[in-house]
Amino acid sequence: MSKKSGSLFNMQFMTSCISTTLVLLLLGLVVFFVLTANNLSVYVRENIAFTLVLNENAREADILTYQKELEQKPYIKQSTYISKEQALKEQTEAMGTDPAEFLGYNPFSPSIEIKLNADYANSDSIRWIKTELAANKQVTDIDYPQELLDAVNSNIRKVSLFLLGLAGLLAFISFALINNMIRLTVYSKRFLIHTMKLVGASWGFIRRPFLLRNVWLGLLAAALADGLLMGFASLLVRYEPDLLVIVTPEVMTVVMSAVFLFGVLITTLCAYVSINKYLRMRVCELYYQ
């Protein structure tokens, strides 16, 4: 084998690396969107609020005690007490006029706005949560946008199924593309493999340089793909800082790890399978493959 053909980082290697990087980048983007869609669904569901309208004669001390009790519930993420005076002030600012001026009294009741943990923001859980909350004598009414929640959950379910299906499809396509590329590379060396067999080299000795080459291929391609994905995420967050809620460090860690593992495992596995194929062949079969 000549020095040029034996070089690890030759033109063929760099071409394979670029192709593998693009495939891993595409796969990484799908994983990224699957995970951020899940974070987005949690964020949306946890920001749809209940409003507990309370008895207008309820004492503030009793209301605050009840609010503390609510915050101990496992399904409550956050609660906010809104007094009659605060409700009147907010409505006056929104309407541009004071309802108490022409009514002669404050028409609003005190209330507590609560937000649920995402695991409980579904129709089944809300049914028994509303029953439990309504059992308290201080609560006179419960206002909750049920139709909005149902629409959000339905859309999230559809998007999640679509993204999971797309991820599975792209994983299969990625495997096929990388496998074909590596098979072509090994195919070009099939006579060299046979020559090494003739001089008595063991299968393990013959495999070693091919496997090493493809381990490096997977590592470099995964590193390049991860770098591009990090750049993409950084641009998103810089453009819209609020996206930090869904584009979290945990998401990027999982995405980068998935790309890294897939890149190394798939290139190594495909190389191993392809090399074994030609190791088993007789010389006459090499001309017809």
- The amino acid occupying position 233 is A
At residue 259, the pLDDT reads 92
Phi, psi of 281 (to 5 degrees): -75, 150
Q: Which fold has domain 49-144?
A: Alpha-Beta Plaits (3.30.70)
In terms of DSSP bridges, do strands 111-116 and 49-54 run parallel, antiparallel, or are they unpaired?
Answer: antiparallel
Q: How much is the pTM? A: 0.70
Among 30-34, 115-119, 209-213, 276-280, the minimum mean pLDDT is found in: 276-280
| 101-122 pLDDT per residue, tens | 777 777 788 888 988 888 888 8
Mean pLDDT value across the chain: 82
Distance CA 187, CA 285 (A): 12
> Which amino acid would we find at residue 281?
M
Separation CA 175–CA 197 (nearest Å): 29
Who wins on pLDDT, 204 or 29? 29
The sheet with strand 111-116 has its strands ordered as 76-82, 111-116, 49-54, 139-143
Helix axes 249-280, 203-239, angle to 10 degrees: 160
Terminal-residue alpha carbon distance, the chain: 22
Q: Judge contact between 106 and 85, C-beta under 8 A.
A: yes
CA dihedral 188→194→200→203, nearest 10 degrees, is 60
Q: How large is the average pLDDT for residues 27-55? A: 86
Of the ranges 84-88, 160-164, 225-229, 268-272, the best mean pLDDT one: 225-229
Q: Specify whether the CB–CB gap between 255 and 31 falls below 8 A.
A: yes
pLDDT of residue 3: 44
8 Å CB contact between 39 and 251: yes
CB hemisphere CA count around 19 (13 angstroms): 17
Lowest-confidence region among 126-135, 161-170, 179-188, 279-288: 279-288
Least confident stretch, 85-94, 161-170, 183-192: 183-192
Residues of the chain with pLDDT > 90, as a percent, come to 10
Can you tell me the mean pLDDT for 145-151? 78
> What would the pLDDT profile of 63-88 be if each residue is shown by its tens digit?
889 889 888 999 898 899 988 888 88
Per-residue model confidence (pLDDT) at position 223: 93
| pLDDT value of position 195 | 78
Domain boundaries in the chain? 3-43+152-288, 49-144
pLDDT of residue 5: 41
Percent of the chain scoring above 70 in pLDDT: 93
- Return the beta strands (E) in 83-159 as ranges: 111-116, 139-143
